[in-house]
């Protein structure tokens, strides 16, 4: 046997290198030579995956269980007041009120007028004397309909203004079927012009 090996050692060495070279080529693959196509289905098992090396994005939706809901946190502090928002749109017009008639009277230094946007039912207003006003409304008689009066603006007057509306229409120089209104500036309780006022016939 020894003699056989001695005679054929070169051939045996060549055979060993050839076999060894083939085995080496199988185990040592070139870098980046293995891809998806080279892996068989189910070739990569859990044992071959490094623990905690995968991320949530590596799993399909619904494969990872949702964690338990944490406890409700404490209530936060009240935030700072924000800036005032822009003015909103005007609302829809309200329903008509139940008043029979109403008016806003602009005194206008002896030449009173109605604010038409805030007047209903009244047809005329005159001023026969300073601080005295005669009002008339179509189809409404002052003898059966009371009048409610309020002063609108008292700017520039030292005393609280007041309105007397129960004066005699005859004494005031107003038609009998209308209403007589007299504006006064408190003490000394004398008729005072240029006091705008509103009237309502309920």
User: What are the tens digits of pLDDT across the range 106-147?
Assistant: 988 779 999 999 999 999 999 998 888 999 998 888 888 888
Q: Which two tokens stand for residue 189?
A: 């309780």
Distance CA 134, CA 76 (A): 64
Question: What is the predicted pLDDT for the residue at 106?
Answer: 92
Indicate if the pLDDT at residue 8 is higher than 70. no
Whether pTM > 0.75 for this model: the answer is no
Q: What share of the chain is helix, strand, coil (3-state, %, to 5)?
A: 20, 20, 60
At 16, is the pLDDT very low, low, confident or very high (cuts 50, 70, 90)?
Answer: low
Eight-class DSSP state of 71: P
Tell me the per-residue pLDDT of 179-196, one tens digit each, with 9 for 90 and over: 998 887 765 567 777 788
Eight-class DSSP state of 10: H
Measuring CA to CA, which residue among 148, 147, 157, 142 is closest to residue 193?
157
Tell me the per-residue pLDDT of 22-48, one tens digit each, with 9 for 90 and over: 444 455 667 777 777 777 787 778 777
Distance CA 44, CA 33 (A): 17
Distance CA 131, CA 109 (A): 9
H helix intervals, 38-196: 169-172
Question: What is the predicted pLDDT for the residue at 25?
Answer: 45
Q: Which of 52-61, 63-72, 91-100, 147-156 has the lowest mean pLDDT?
A: 147-156
Mean pLDDT, rounded, of the chain: 78
């Amino acid at each position: 046997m020894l003699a056989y090996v001695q005679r054929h050692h070169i051939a045996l060495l060549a055979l060993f290198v050839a076999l060894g070279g083939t085995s080496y080529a199988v185990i040592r693959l070139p870098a980046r030579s293995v891809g998806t196509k080279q892996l068989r289905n189910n070739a990569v098992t859990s044992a071959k995956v490094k623990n905690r090396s995968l991320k949530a994005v590596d799993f399909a939706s619904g494969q990872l269980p949702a964690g338990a809901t944490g406890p409700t946190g404490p209530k936060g502090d009240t935030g700072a007041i924000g800036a005032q928002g822009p003015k909103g749109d005007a609302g829809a017009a309200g329903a008509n009120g139940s008043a029979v008639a109403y008016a806003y009277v602009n005194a206008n230094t002896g030449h009173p007028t109605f604010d038409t946007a805030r007047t209903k039912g009244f047809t005329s207003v005159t001023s026969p004397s300073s601080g005295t006003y005669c009002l008339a409304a179509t189809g409404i008689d002052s003898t059966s309909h009371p009048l409610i009066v309020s002063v609108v603006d008292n700017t520039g007057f030292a005393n609280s203004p007041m309105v007397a509306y129960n004066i005699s229409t005859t004494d005031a120089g107003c038609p009998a079927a209308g209403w007589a209104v007299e504006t006064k500036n408190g003490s000394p309780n004398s008729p005072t012009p240029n006091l705008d006022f509103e009237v309502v016939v309920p």
